[in-house]
């Protein structure tokens, strides 16, 4: 198994409600320290006695905190600041509604005082767009679809479909040669990763939009309403961005729409756009947030979402 296959398959398992979840007890990746607890959460590596989970955070890889080690995530930082247990329920590749669906399931298992619902905004395939797919980047998942009754979840697609992470398509001779060169020539791998994305030759990136997928604007409104209905003491909508999204007109228009809906629903909002814009991009992002970028997000979330006036 190659390093990229181990990153995504070794740390995940199929789930018939969510498509996939972090695999309990998975040791993590080789380049950074990633540990998955028996509850399916990412470990924070924060020493606390006793550690009672009071806060649940959910979202995509910007919540899971891809590319950094356990103690360098913003949920780990939040746990230190609160001196209360924080369960990191972020999952790489999740859509917004998919993350909220996981939150609903986890809220039925434990009593939490606070829920942080993190949403990543982008001009193209952001978290709300992801909820329109039955397969995305090789993972089977549920999609939000239009029905006669309104918006509903589809069933999770077959995880063993050719082209998925669990059943990669067999490459031809040319692709096998490129894959071999990619794995053995460091400079080639660097160029390919920067221009085409990591693991491009693995052929396990099946992506299919559901034929009855709901429109993204409808998904945004539906998801925020579902979030508002959750029965929990402190609910926080956390908006996150990559460096390009801070000034992108499509992202800003989408942000305005989300803020308007969230305000009408009386949701507590922590929008990181303005605070992130104060820093040099290379300090905060290396694809995902750097350890320092996670500290900035953590500090802002703590001040705006948890500090009492």
- For 271-301, what is each residue's pLDDT tens digit? 999 999 999 999 999 989 999 999 999 999 9
> Which residues are within 8 A (CB) of 30 and not within 5 positions of it... i.e. 6 or more apart?
3, 6
How far is the C-alpha of 155 from the C-alpha of 173, rounded, in Å? 36
Q: How many CB atoms lie within 10 A of CB 142?
A: 24
Stretch 110-118: mean pLDDT: 97
Lowest mean pLDDT segment, chosen from 194-198, 232-236, 269-273: 194-198
Of 5-14, 107-116, 173-182, where does the model show the most confidence? 107-116
Task: Give CA 236 to chain center in angstroms.
Answer: 16
Strands (E), the chain: 12-15, 19-22, 53-58, 85-88, 114-121, 133-136, 139-140, 144-147, 150-153, 208-209, 234-241, 268-271, 285-286, 288-289
Range list of H helices, 15-111 = 61-64, 74-82, 96-107
| Residue 157 token pair | 């697609």
CA distances from 58 to 15, 95, 101, 165 (A): 17, 11, 10, 23
- Residue 286 β-bridge partners: 288
- Residue 183: pLDDT over 80: no
Q: What does the alpha-carbon distance between residue 115 and residue 86 come to, in Å, rounded to a whole number?
A: 10
**CATH of segment(s) 31-134+214-306:** 3.40.50.1110
CB-CB contact of 223 with 262 (8 Å): no
Q: Note the pLDDT tens digit of each residue in 65-78.
A: 988 999 999 999 99
Q: Where are the domains of the chain?
A: 31-134+214-306
Beta bridge partners of 230: none
In terms of pTM, does the model score above 0.85?
A: yes
């Amino acid at each position: 198994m190659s390093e990229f296959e181990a990153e995504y398959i070794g740390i995940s398992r199929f789930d018939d409600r969510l498509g996939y979840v972090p695999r309990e007890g998975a040791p993590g990746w080789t380049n950074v320290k990633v540990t998955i607890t028996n509850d399916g959460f990412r470990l924070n590596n924060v020493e606390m006695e006793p550690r009672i989970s009071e806060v649940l955070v959910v979202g995509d890889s910007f919540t899971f905190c891809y590319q950094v080690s356990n103690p360098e995530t913003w949920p780990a930082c939040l746990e230190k600041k609160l001196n209360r247990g924080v369960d990191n329920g972020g999952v790489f590749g999740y859509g917004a509604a998919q993350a909220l669906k996981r939150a609903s399931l986890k809220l039925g298992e434990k009593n939490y005082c606070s829920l942080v619902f993190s949403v990543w905004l982008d001009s193209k395939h952001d978290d709300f767009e992801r909820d329109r797919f039955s397969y995305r980047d090789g993972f089977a998942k549920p999609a939000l679809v239009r029905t006669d009754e309104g918006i509903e979840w589809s069933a999770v697609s077959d995880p063993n479909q050719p082209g998925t992470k669990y059943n990669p398509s067999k490459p031809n001779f040319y692709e096998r040669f490129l894959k071999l060169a990619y794995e053995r020539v460091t400079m080639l791998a660097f160029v390919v990763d920067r221009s085409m994305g990591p693991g491009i030759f693995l052929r396990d990136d099946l992506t299919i939009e559901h034929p009855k997928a709901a429109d993204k604007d409808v998904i945004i409104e539906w998801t925020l309403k579902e979030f508002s209905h959750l029965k929990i003491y402190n609910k926080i909508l956390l908006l996150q961005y990559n460096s390009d999204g801070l000034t992108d007109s499509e992202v800003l228009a989408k942000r305005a729409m989300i803020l308007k809906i969230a305000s009408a629903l009386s949701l507590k909002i922590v929008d990181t756009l303005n605070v992130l814009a104060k820093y040099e991009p290379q300090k905060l992002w290396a694809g995902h947030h750097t350890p320092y970028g996670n500290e900035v997000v953590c500090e802002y979330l703590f001040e705006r979402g948890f500090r009492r006036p």
